[in-house]
Chain A
Amino acid sequence: PTVDCLDLCQMLTAEPVFQASKYGSLWPLPQKVQISEVSFKLSSASFRIVDAKASSAGPSCSLLQSAYRRYYEYMFGSAKKQWGSKNNRRSDPSDLTELQVWITSPDSECDGYPSVTSDESCEYLLFLVHVMFYRSLETFSQLVSEDEYGAKSINATIINDFPRFQHRGILLDSSRHFLPIKVILSNLETMAMNKINVFHWHIVDEQSFPYLSRTFPQLSEQGAYHPYTHVYTPADVKMVIEFARLRGIRVVPEFDTPGHTQSWGKGQKDLLTPCYSGSKPSGSFGPVNPILNTTYDFMAKFFTEISTVFPDGYIHLGGDEVDFTCWKSNPDIQKFMEQQHFGEDYSKLESFYIQKLLDIVASTKKGYLVWQEVFDNGVKLKPDTVVHVWIGGRSDKEMSNVTAAGYTTILSAPWYLDYISYGQDWQKYYKVEPLNFEGTDEQKKLVIGGEACLWGEYVDATNLTPRLWPRASAVAERLWSAKNVTDIDDAFNRLSLHRCRMVERGIPAEPLFSSYCLHEYKGV
């Protein structure tokens, strides 16, 4: 007996039965797909991925070359497997021998970083393939199927594809638990399999400060869980950024202030506000101290470093959940409030801090994202600020307000994946419609995407990957595919196969429901 009666009754009506989708295992579903009956064989010995003659990228584009190899291995397994087979056989007309990759834009962006404006659309016909960016390789590899003898084939297919939303992110939290680099990298790999293009690195928070700053090394020396084993060195960060770049993923770092900063205080004296108990300092500390010039000197230096270490055009500045009690207790702050005529409104003090911080960051030529409270509290924002909506309940109202004020926005409220529950909660994430709020077409255009958040209170390297995947895949399709892709049964059928493909590629993505994969997870 595995379910109590209530569950049982639900199961009897809702038990999913796997059936093959006409779209096979494609995930997220491309914008336009036509799969014909005509099938071509793929032989590992003769198949090549090559640059098209007219492509603006060539062999010197290491990004594409390494992607070719990665996808060749996904499709055919490691080269080792082929040692035994001699290939004297001539390819016959039913063989597909070449995938031509044609980068059509004049600038292939090979050595650049993906940016918020990168074009990820692509179109391809088999044999002749136009590819404008990385994404199509993943799609191509998903079209390859294996029969029971292990032979690979692919149907003649025409795909024209582009993402619905530009910003498709995943937030990982490396402060509440340290995440070893290996875990981050393997999740970047998985993000690419799901066409996720932003890694939102919530790198520091109250609990620990694992970012090793060159300018302020004492921040991690004192503020990390461990100064050597639980830090991200500059080399680590570089590795993450490059690994992400090769997969077309932006790395957006978040340095959340003025709240969520307990760990900063350990290595940076006088940065946090001393709390008072009556007329004496209590020994504990609150948010960043907004009334000292030294605070802003520190932030200026710190964010200058961040702006050079992280190449992305955006930095996430946090700004959420500021607790005013400590500020209220501090006599110096009270005096400052009076001087500034803030009255008793501490959100004005918060705005004062954020405003100054935004000016600092703006001077580094970066754009910024902030959590929704910053907007709610009426802080003056640059027009290109991205407001990140996370508070559940009435997030549609918030989306409506933010876009009415003319700001671009991304949505996370319905996608807090750290909240787990029994059963197929991926369906809940899948059914979200990000543009389901009151507003004009202009307003809706301001929604540039969304993010699935996996906060770290209960997550570390032991459980992160199976908890994130394939639940985040549901979000990935919502953000990539057309608005009308909402058939939950078809999604179940494709996602079942997609999760098995992730498992076969070595990712411990958890199951959707009772079933099996041809190649089960081997990494036990």
Chain B
Amino acid sequence: PVPSLHQGHLELIRTIRTARTQAEEREMIQKECAAIRSSFREEDNTYRCRNVAKLLYMHMLGYPAHFGQLECLKLIASQKFTDKRIGYLGAMLLLDERQDVHLLMTNCIKNDLNHSTQYVQGLALCTLGCMGSSEMCRDLAGEVEKLLKTSNSYLRKKAALCAVHVIRKVPELMEMFLPATKNLLSEKNHGVLHTSVVLLTEMCERSPDMLLHFRKLVPQLVRILKNLIMSGYSPEHDVSGISDPFLQVRILRLLRILGRSDDDSSEAMNDILAQVATNTETSKNVGNAILYETVLTIMDIKSESGLRVLAINILGRFLLNNDKNIRYVALTSLLKTVQTDHNAVQRHRSTIVDCLKDLDVSIKRRAMELSFALVNGNNIRGMMKELLYFLDSCDPEFKADCASGVFLAAEKYAPSKRWHIDTIMRVLTTAGSYVRDDSVPNLIQLITNSVEMHAYTVQRLYKALLDDISQQPLVQVSSWCIGEYGDLLVSGQCEEEEPIQVTEDEVLDVLEGLLVSNLSTPVTRGYSLTAIMKLSTRFSSVNRIKKVVSIYGSSIDVELQQRAVEYNALFKKYDHMRPALLERMPIMEKTASNGPTEIVQTNGETEPSVPDTKHPPLVTQPANQVTARSHDISVFTIDGSFFVTDDVFKNGLKIEFTFERANPNPNIAVITIHATNTTEDDMTEFVFQAAVPKTFQLQLLSPSSNIVPALNHGSVTQVIRVLNPQKQQLRMRVKLTYTHKGSPVQDLAEVNNFPPQSWQ
């Protein structure tokens, strides 16, 4: 059937739905559009409304409809309500602020705000409130303010929300709405009450003065809430037996804002919060929505400890709820409060750990984060069992974070060195390919410092290598250990477990196997070659080692080649130095100074969040504490005048420092920072700041950009020049700020151990 110009829009829909193919549909639409276009050109008033309605339907299907924009305006200007209705709808769907056409609506809206029919006024308020530009809002704010004072509740509720939009667009106009708010809360109509609370909330959030001013409303809000709870069944607003839960939630949120950081207000709302918390029916979702909001309010204001415990217990009960939505919000809230109310949350630890087995990914993630936050010296063994089990079976997206969390927790609370090494082994063997790059040097440091465990460690790592050489971090740590402690391995000195019987040749077979295996990365090959070299002072089969080293002197891999050539030189020309150079590594000191050690991976967020607990919390940290840390700098390579320092990992951000002394003034050190980002989201508005002690002078040149691209797709570099005339030990305080995943991040660090070559 061919669509006709005069068919109603329902017929059109029916017709279009008979199309059997996309092509057929497109053809029908094109014909209809052509007809509609010519009708528009003829300025046909009778059919304009119907045609725009058809156009909107076609727009919904995905076809272009912008040629109808002006027609919408004509409909808005019409006197007929049916025309206006479609016109305004069309405007909301087809226009956005950026089109000039949009401004043409201003006059119509102004007239309609004063129309004799309330539904027309309502349309105007709705449209202005949803898409009004700043200019429109400025022009029409007065009309909105007038309507905010009307006794017509239908208009008043819409005017209140419209005012919210005006204030958002033109914050300076907020003051003018203040008088009209005077008796908003005395309204009986729930629609008006609700939107009034929203308006008050908006004003309080935007202006500290307004907040102070509206604090006096607390008693009135408390009264309204009380009436809602105590009143019997009210058919008008009942949802599953609860009276206007949506209004209750909004009032609770406003109370939260008013009570925050104010003792008196918090006290004034204490009773009602306790009442809501204990009396709300929990069998349906509605009740739980109110309880959830109540908990958020209790936790945010200055509530007494009894109330806080009540709140946490509500969350604990939520965790046992069959409804996964409820479990999800419970875990989210517990995560927010675990720092400030640690002991109360601890009581629900076993329920939280059970959530590790939940089927929902976001629930699992929160349960994992919470679990790590709750680990302490008392529960470490039990918790680690659960977390390692989780690590075994969890999705790949969790493994890196879980592994890091395990390492951190193990380091803080390991009950014994052996347990610590075993735990690390477990992580490396089950999730070895997911551990972060910095785990390898950290683990090496840990192993080095666990002197009495060397024999046990190297034995276990060797056995692990026999099973699997695919997981690079495991292979690297193992190679390094074998290079260091291979002598203990072959002499069978292990006390902790049955010593294995292995010969020097077998060990060298394994290490050489790593060199040739396809599974080994270049870095891994470097580790194994160096390990083999080290064994030349620990094993007696020096000739075999010499042979291997000389073969790799002509390796295609430049790094391997260089090492091999240097090791060859060691054998030939510097053999007298070889034992000293390759002897056992000494124990590595960690910086003892202020704050947690370098391995702490704070996520630097402004909200108190997981792995940052220094337990027990003797110093209560405010909610937006930013951690300052000291960082060890270790020199990885010494190459002419370039010194590379340790990298500082924060939340996927990596900062590398390089130094140059190749300039005429020996008092100036030129440091370049390189910032890269391993996460999936860009870090924008990235700002690097540095401060040095008084005897130094610092000059920060312009950064290369302020976006650190995701997935290492580029870096931000910035040059720092430090003048150090007194040749003092260089120290620097570093501050990073950036936006990541929409949230601002700030991190501070103190860098104390710049290598002497960088400032001498």
Tell whether A pairs with B.
Answer: no
